[in-house]
Amino acid sequence: MVEELKSGEQRNKLIHAGQMHLVHWLIIFLSIVLTFSAWYYSKSQLNQKLEAKFQRNAEQVVNLVKERMGLYENALWGGVAFIDSVDNDITYTQWLAYSTSLKIDLVYPGINGIGIIYNVQLDQMADYMAKQLALRPDYSLHPNHQESEYWPITYVEPAAPNKKAIGLDMAFEANRYSSIKKARDTGQAQLTAPITLVQDAKKTPGFLFYTPFYQGGRKPENIEERRKSIVGVTYAPFIMKNLMQGTLAEQNRHVSIQISDAGELLFDDNSDEGTQDIDTNPLFSKEVDAELYGRVWKFLIQSNLSFREESTSNQSSFILIGGLTIDGLLLGLFLFLSRANRQALLYADEMTVALKSKTKHLEKSNSDLEQFSYIASHDLKSPLNAIKQLVGWIKEDCQDILPEDSKKHLNLLSQRSQRMMKLLNDLLDYSRINRDEFKNERVNLNDLSQDILQLLDIPQSFTFSAPDIDINIPQAPLEIVLRNLISNATKHHDKKSGHIVLSYDSNIEFHTFVIEDDGPGIPEEFHDKAMEMFQTLQSRDKVEGSGMGLAMIKRIVEHYQGSIAIDSDGERGTRVTIKWRLNTQ
Amino acid sequence: MLEKSKDVTLLLIEDDDVDAMTIERSFLKQRIANPIIRAYDGIEALELLRSRDITRPLVILLDLQMPRMGGLEFLKELRADENLLDLVVFVLTTSKSDEDMLSSYRQHIAGYFVKGEAGENFLDIVNVLDSYWKVVHLPG
């Protein structure tokens, strides 16, 4: 019953283990959440890093442009300083020398040239033209305009690429004219709004850079003074595209740039058809307003494809894919384990069913056998009884006429029938031994032994001793065991008198009974044989016996989970040790 | 009294010849003169009783295991028969089974003997019967 409960519990445990439980799902859910968090975290980290990088790039671009403009400003102020240092008007050769010494091509990439524009009032015009024509007969002003003053480009070096600009009057066009006036009025370097340079055949956007100089190298404090004493400006024309060459070239950037001035486009990577790097869906985008010499340039800076390429990191994807793979494996493992448990359960159930049917079969064949031996011995007894009776009558009736030999034969006949009766009775007993379950009783070993001695009719010449103690044990089977042992000890004794001792001991597991006699003993090679059914070690004609005694003892003792051991050297004395499991009931 | 006891007939219903002979021999040995009528099974016994070839007073000694009609079946028939239900029946059998014994007593038997326990040559039974009909009044 307890075992059944236990196995039921174990089975329930297996059933339990064979299912996916909340905790399994929770683990999987948590690990998925963890995976996504790690993915999200790493992605946002990456994004932050990228954004910082983009900001750096954008700043760098604006700073580079500012730096470059600062360099050009210096060159122009250098021109102003040179003019201020010369007392009379600068000659063409002097300016050529100055501009050549600047090494524009090398030092100032992006600049188209450096030149001087003089301010010429209407009344000074004849004088100015005369001076210029004296040195350069082909010099002419262009185009015509309605303004009351002139700002003609007088010199510009290198002259060859700027040929179209020489003699160009800045007053002809609003952007050029307003900025030059602003330069005059502020005394500061000034840029024009976007214009198209006359010398640019491609008509791309550009601008001019002016720095004013005044009479006598002075730096007047106010507008009136400045207007009164203005002489001209040093200037540099720029084609925007060229300005953005060098370190600002597209291949050196990870951002694409669009620069506009008051809504007019100055520069756009996009307009360049050769571009490969524009990202139609930029990762980052930024607008920066940069104040540059009286103008506000609006920079629209966007990350480009090379930025995307460089920033594309699979780290977070790896985390996501790796994490999800692990989650999948975990789920697989759980499913596999629960499946394995279910299979184990199935197998165990199958085995249980098989075992049960086997047990049932065994129990049935066992009970069949018992039934058979019971019926057989029962039915065999009645004809045997009849034989015995008839022999008795013949002896009775024919006492006077039977020859002596026949009388002897009749005696043998009745003796054999007697023996057969005993065999059948013992067989019957043997088959019935363990049919009934006996409860523990309080048994006094000495009292029980005395009863047995009386029943067996042991000769007075035999002495017997047993301990006078009470033990708890099923009485009926113990009695059969002791009776057979005592009977054996006296029956097989080879002398007229003998001594038999029963001793008892017990531990936590077993009762131990030892019966010792001083009979002839049993040779060791026959110890096993002695315990087989129907085996006798002496002729039945010498010692009456069915050969069932020890077999019966063995059957009883083994039923009570004990054992029997024979200890004898075959010369003198036999010692039989019976172990009988204590029943706690 | 003595006159009376001599009149009592024993109807022995027993298929085993040796058992029947044992009873007869014991009667002789004990010098019991009562007549013994033998039937081999229940059917034969019922025929005998119903034909009134057998005289009362009557005591029946019945075996349980017999061919054709066993003892328990015979008892059932006997007790169902208006003319026979008053008869005294002893059972003599090899069966020690409680079930057989209880079923027999339910049919109002006077005693239940087991063959193995009936003493040498059934002498115990024979003595009981002899004493029984010496002192007991039986229906005529």
For residue range A528-574, list pLDDT tens digits in order.
877 777 777 777 767 777 777 888 888 888 888 899 988 888 788 88
**Contact list, B66 vs chain A (CB under 8 Å):** none
pLDDT value for A269: 80
pLDDT value for A272: 64
Q: What is the mean pLDDT of chain A?
A: 85
Rg (CA), chain A: 65
For the residues B53-77, what does the mean pLDDT come to? 90
pLDDT value for B56: 84
Residue B138 domain-assigned (yes or no)? no
What CATH number does residue B80 fall under? Answer: 3.40.50.2300
The range of the structural domain enclosing residue B63 comes to 2-131
pLDDT value for A24: 85
Whether chain B has a CB inside 8 Å of the CB on A381: the answer is yes
Phi, psi values for residue A331, rounded to 5°? -60, -45
pLDDT for B69-94, tens place per residue? 889 999 999 999 998 999 999 999 88
Which residue has tokens 């021109």?
A: A79
For the residues B9-28, what does the mean pLDDT come to? 90
* Count of domains for chain B: 1
> Are B121 and A382 an interchain contact pair (Cβ–Cβ within 8 Å)?
no
- Does A174 have pLDDT greater than 60? yes
Query: Where is pLDDT greater, at A347 or B115?
Result: A347
**Which residues, 6 or more positions from B85, have their beta carbon under 8 angstroms from its beta carbon?**
B78, B79
> Are B121 and A386 an interchain contact pair (Cβ–Cβ within 8 Å)?
no
- Does B37 have pLDDT greater than 90? yes
Burial of A566 by CB count in 10 Å (0-12 exposed, 13-18 middle, 19+ buried)?
middle
The residue of chain A nearest to residue B93, with distances taken between CA atoms, is A382
Q: Which amino acid is at A557?
A: V
How confident is residue A6, by pLDDT bands cut at 50, 70 and 90?
A: low
> Are A385 and B25 an interchain contact pair (Cβ–Cβ within 8 Å)?
no
- Does B1 have pLDDT greater than 50? no
Q: Which residues of A477-491 are buried (b: 16+ CB within 10 A; e: fewer)?
A: bbbbbbbbbbbbbbb
Query: Where is pLDDT greater, at B5 or A385?
Result: A385
Q: Which residues of A500-537 are buried (b: 16+ CB within 10 A; e: fewer)?
A: bbbeeebeeebbebbbbbbbbbbeeeebeebbeeebbe
Whether chain B has a CB inside 8 Å of the CB on A388: the answer is no
Whether chain A has a CB inside 8 Å of the CB on B19: the answer is yes
Query: Rounded distance, CA B12 to CA B7, Å?
Result: 16
Whether chain A has a CB inside 8 Å of the CB on B18: the answer is yes
Q: Enter the DSSP assignment of A202.
A: T
Residue B136 domain-assigned (yes or no)? no
For the residues A319-324, what does the mean pLDDT come to? 89
Query: Where is pLDDT greater, at A108 or A323?
Result: A323
How crowded is the C-beta side of A156, counted as CA atoms within 13 Å?
26
For the residues A139-164, what does the mean pLDDT come to? 86
> Are A390 and B115 an interchain contact pair (Cβ–Cβ within 8 Å)?
no
Query: Rounded distance, CA B57 to CA B4, Å?
Result: 9
**Contact list, A393 vs chain B (CB under 8 Å):** 21, 25
| Alpha-carbon torsion, ordered A472, A477, A478, A484, to 10 deg | 180
Whether chain A has a CB inside 8 Å of the CB on B123: the answer is no
- Does B3 have pLDDT greater than 50? no
Residue B46 domain-assigned (yes or no)? yes
Inter-residue contact A440 to A472 (CB < 8 Å): yes
Strand pairing report for B111-114 and B88-93: parallel
Query: Rounded distance, CA A472 to CA A584, Å?
Result: 10
Alpha carbon separation from B120 to A90, A364, A392, A417, A499 (Å, rounded): 174, 39, 11, 15, 35
Q: Which amino acid is at A141?
A: L
Name the residue among A214, A132, A220, A135 with its Cα closest to residue A169: A132
Inter-residue contact A167 to A269 (CB < 8 Å): no
Longest dimension (CA), chain A: 201
pLDDT value for B105: 95
How confident is residue A276, by pLDDT bands cut at 50, 70 and 90?
A: low
Inter-residue contact B33 to B71 (CB < 8 Å): no
Query: Where is pLDDT greater, at B45 or A372?
Result: B45
- Does A111 have pLDDT greater than 50? yes
- One-letter-per-residue 3-state SS of A455-501: HHCCCCCEEEECCCCEEEECHHHHHHHHHHHHHHHHHCCCCCCEEEE
For the residues A172-181, what does the mean pLDDT come to? 90
- Does B12 have pLDDT greater than 90? yes
Query: Rounded distance, CA B137 to CA B120, Å?
Result: 28
Phi, psi values for residue A200, rounded to 5°? -95, 110
**Contact list, A392 vs chain B (CB under 8 Å):** 121
The residue of chain A nearest to residue B120, with distances taken between CA atoms, is A389
Residue B14 domain-assigned (yes or no)? yes
Number of C-beta neighbours around residue A180 at 10 A: 24
> Are B18 and A385 an interchain contact pair (Cβ–Cβ within 8 Å)?
yes
How confident is residue A5, by pLDDT bands cut at 50, 70 and 90?
A: low
Residue B127 domain-assigned (yes or no)? yes
Whether chain B has a CB inside 8 Å of the CB on A23: the answer is no
pLDDT value for A274: 59
pLDDT value for A504: 93
For the residues A502-522, what does the mean pLDDT come to? 90
For the residues A317-344, what does the mean pLDDT come to? 89
Query: Rounded distance, CA B125 to CA B118, Å?
Result: 6
Residue B32 domain-assigned (yes or no)? yes
Q: Determine the distance from the C-alpha atom of residue A395 to the mean position of all C-alpha atoms in its chain, rounded to a whole number.
A: 99
pLDDT value for A384: 85
Q: Is the N-terminal amide bond of A477 cis, ω within 30° of 0?
A: no
How confident is residue A164, by pLDDT bands cut at 50, 70 and 90?
A: confident
Name the residue among B114, B87, B116 with its Cα closest to residue B101: B114
Q: What ipTM goes with this model? A: 0.73
Task: For residue A434, give the 3-state DSSP assignment.
Answer: coil
pLDDT for A202-259, tens place per residue? 888 899 999 999 988 888 888 999 998 999 999 999 888 888 876 677 777 888 888 9
For the residues A56-60, what does the mean pLDDT come to? 90
- Does B4 have pLDDT greater than 60? no
Query: Where is pLDDT greater, at A565 or A105?
Result: A565
Inter-residue contact A258 to A272 (CB < 8 Å): no
Name the residue among A197, A240, A239, A236 with its Cα closest to residue A76: A236
Q: Which of A378, A381, A390 sits opposite B18 (nearest CB)?
A: A390
Inter-residue contact A531 to A551 (CB < 8 Å): yes
Residue B40 domain-assigned (yes or no)? yes
Query: Rounded distance, CA A363 to CA A360, Å?
Result: 5
Query: Where is pLDDT greater, at B3 or B115?
Result: B115
How crowded is the C-beta side of A518, counted as CA atoms within 13 Å?
10
Q: Give the DSSP H/E element, type plus range, for residue B5.
A: helix B2-7
- Does A585 have pLDDT greater than 80? no
The residue of chain A nearest to residue B25, with distances taken between CA atoms, is A393
pLDDT value for A304: 83
| % chain A with pLDDT above 70 | 96
pLDDT value for A25: 87
Residue B22 domain-assigned (yes or no)? yes
Residue B133 structure tokens: 């009909």
Whether chain A has a CB inside 8 Å of the CB on B121: the answer is yes
- Which domains does chain A possess? 1-313 (3.30.450.350), 438-581 (3.30.565.10)
Query: Rounded distance, CA A272 to CA B77, Å?
Result: 131
| Alpha-carbon torsion, ordered A92, A93, A98, A103, to 10 deg | 100
How confident is residue B111, by pLDDT bands cut at 50, 70 and 90?
A: very high
Task: For residue A381, give the 3-state DSSP assignment.
Answer: helix
- One-letter-per-residue 3-state SS of B21-84: HHHHHHHHHCCCCCCEEEECCHHHHHHHHHCCCCCCCEEEEECCCCCCCCHHHHHHHHHHCCCC
Query: Rounded distance, CA A112 to CA A434, Å?
Result: 125
